[in-house]
C-alpha cells in the first residue's frame, strides 16, 4: 500500500554521475575527502562510464584535471587537453547511449583557481571570461559533448555559449546552466578532487547563501539566454530554492548533490553513525520531493543499481 500511494519517484534515468579524469594518471588516484571517488585515468574513466550507463544513469558530467595550468586556462580549449580528449573517448565508446556532459568552466585549468580570467587588479574579468567560455564550448561540442554545463556564474555566459554553438552549427548541443550556484563551504572536497589552486573565494561571482529572490532572477536570465535546463547548487542546504525553481521554471530543473554533501554522509557512515544506503536514498528522495527533475550525485551509478 505504501508503494501504491508513494508521491515521489526516484529513477536511475534522473541521476547524472559526475566523473573526474586526470591527465597523465597511470592509476586511479583516490580523493581523500571523497572516499570511493577517484581521479580516473583515461582507461578507468571509460570503464566507469560504461558501467554507469549500464546501470541506467541518465547522464555523465565530466571534469578534467590537467597536468599544467596557466592564467587563462589554456588546457581547457586545447583539442588535446584532458577534458576534450576524454570527451572524445567517451563519445566514441558510448555514442548516444547516454547524455554526455562537460563542465564548461576554467577553474580546473587556471593557475589561480578562479572560474575566469583576471584583470590587472586580480579581479575576475566577467566579459573577458565570456570569450574564453565561447572557445571552450566549441572545443567541447567538437569533442562530442551532448550538453554543456557552464558553472562559472559569469553574467551572460549562457547567451554567449548559445550563440557560439549556433554560429558553428552545433545547434543541437544543449546547455545545462548552473544558474543558482551559491558560494558554499560544501565545495571543500571538490577542491581536492580537481587539485584546485584557489586561495581566495568566489564571493564576487557566486551567490550569497542568504539570497533566495536572486536565484529566481538568475534562473530567469539563463532561460532567456537559451538554457535548456537550469541548476540549483548545492542541493541539501538549498531545497527551498530547488522548490521555488521547480515552481517557476518552464525548463527542467537539476540539483547538484555536491562533494561536501557526499563526504558528510560517507564520513558518518564510515563511523557507523548512520545507515549509509538508507541515508543516501533518503537524501536523493528529498531532492526529488523538493522538485528537482534531475540530480547530479556521486552516488548515481550505485544508487541506480539499488533502484533497479
Q: Which residues belong to the active site?
A: 181, 233
Name the minimum Å distance from CB 251 to ligand PBG: 20
Out of 33, 77, 151, 286, the only residue in the binding site for ligand PBG (CB under 6 A) is: 151
Out of 52, 87, 99, 105, the only residue in the binding site for ligand PBG (CB under 6 A) is: 105
Our CB check for ligand PBG shows the closer of 30 and 95 to be: 30
| Part in contact with ligand PBG (CB under 6 A); list of ranges 103-111, 126-134, 156-164, 165-173 | 103-111
Is 190 one of the binding residues for ligand PBG (CB under 6 A)?
Answer: yes
Our CB check for ligand PBG shows the closer of 170 and 299 to be: 299
| Part in contact with ligand PBG (CB under 6 A); list of ranges 99-107, 158-166, 266-274, 279-287 | 99-107
Number of residues that bind ligand PBG (CB under 6 A): 10
Crossing angle for the helix pair 82-94 and 126-143, nearest 10 degrees? 30
Out of 33, 41, 259, 286, the only residue in the binding site for ligand PBG (CB under 6 A) is: 259
Is 136 one of the binding residues for ligand PBG (CB under 6 A)?
Answer: no
The position carrying cell 549556433 is 166
Our CB check for ligand PBG shows the closer of 237 and 248 to be: 237
Is 187 one of the binding residues for ligand PBG (CB under 6 A)?
Answer: yes
Is 60 one of the binding residues for ligand PBG (CB under 6 A)?
Answer: no
| Part in contact with ligand PBG (CB under 6 A); list of ranges 3-11, 46-54, 102-110, 274-282 | 102-110
| Part in contact with ligand PBG (CB under 6 A); list of ranges 3-11, 41-49, 90-98, 100-108 | 100-108
Crossing angle for the helix pair 239-248 and 213-225, nearest 10 degrees? 40
Name the minimum Å distance from CB 198 to ligand PBG: 7
- List the grid coordinates of 31: 580523493
Our CB check for ligand PBG shows the closer of 259 and 286 to be: 259
Per CB under 6 A, residues contacting ligand PBG are 103, 105, 107, 115, 151, 187, 190, 202, 258-259
Amino acid at each position: 500500500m505504501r508503494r501504491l500511494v508513494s508521491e515521489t519517484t526516484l529513477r536511475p534515468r534522473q541521476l547524472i554521475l559526475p566523473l573526474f579524469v586526470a591527465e597523465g594518471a597511470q592509476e586511479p588516484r583516490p580523493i581523500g575527502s571523497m572516499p570511493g571517488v577517484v581521479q580516473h585515468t583515461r582507461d578507468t574513466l571509460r570503464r566507469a562510464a560504461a558501467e554507469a550507463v549500464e546501470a541506467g544513469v541518465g547522464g555523465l558530467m565530466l571534469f578534467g584535471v590537467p597536468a599544467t595550468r596557466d592564467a587563462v586556462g589554456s588546457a581547457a580549449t586545447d583539442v588535446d587537453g584532458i577534458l576534450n580528449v576524454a570527451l572524445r573517448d567517451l563519445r566514441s565508446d558510448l555514442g548516444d547511449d547516454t547524455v554526455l556532459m562537460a563542465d564548461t568552466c576554467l577553474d580546473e585549468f587556471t593557475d589561480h583557481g578562479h572560474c575566469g580570467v583576471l584583470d590587472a587588479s586580480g579581479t575576475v574579468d566577467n566579459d573577458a571570461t565570456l570569450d574564453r567560455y565561447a572557445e571552450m564550448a566549441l572545443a567541447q561540442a567538437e569533442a562530442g559533448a551532448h550538453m554543456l554545463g557552464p558553472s562559472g556564474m559569469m553574467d551572460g555566459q549562457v547567451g554567449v555559449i548559445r550563440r557560439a554553438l549556433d554560429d558553428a552549427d552545433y545547434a543541437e548541443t544543449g546547455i545545462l546552466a548552473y544558474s543558482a550556484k551559491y558560494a558554499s563551504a560544501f565545495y571543500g572536497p571538490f577542491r581536492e578532487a580537481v587539485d584546485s589552486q584557489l586561495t581566495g573565494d568566489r564571493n564576487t561571482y557566486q551567490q550569497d547563501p542568504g539570497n533566495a529572490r536572486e536565484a529566481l532572477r538568475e534562473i530567469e536570465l539563463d532561460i532567456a539566454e537559451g538554457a535548456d535546463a537550469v541548476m540549483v547548487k548545492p542541493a541539501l542546504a538549498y531545497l527551498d530554492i530547488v522548490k521555488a525553481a521547480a515552481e517557476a521554471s518552464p525548463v527542467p530543473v537539476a540539483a547538484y548533490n555536491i562533494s561536501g554533501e557526499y563526504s558528510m554522509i560517507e564520513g558518518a557512515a564510515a563511523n557507523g553513525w548512520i545507515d549509509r544506503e538508507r541515508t543516501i536514498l533518503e537524501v536523493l528522495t528529498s531532492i526529488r520531493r523538493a522538485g528537482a527533475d534531475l540530480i547530479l550525485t556521486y552516488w548515481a551509478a550505485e544508487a541506480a543499481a539499488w533502484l533497479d
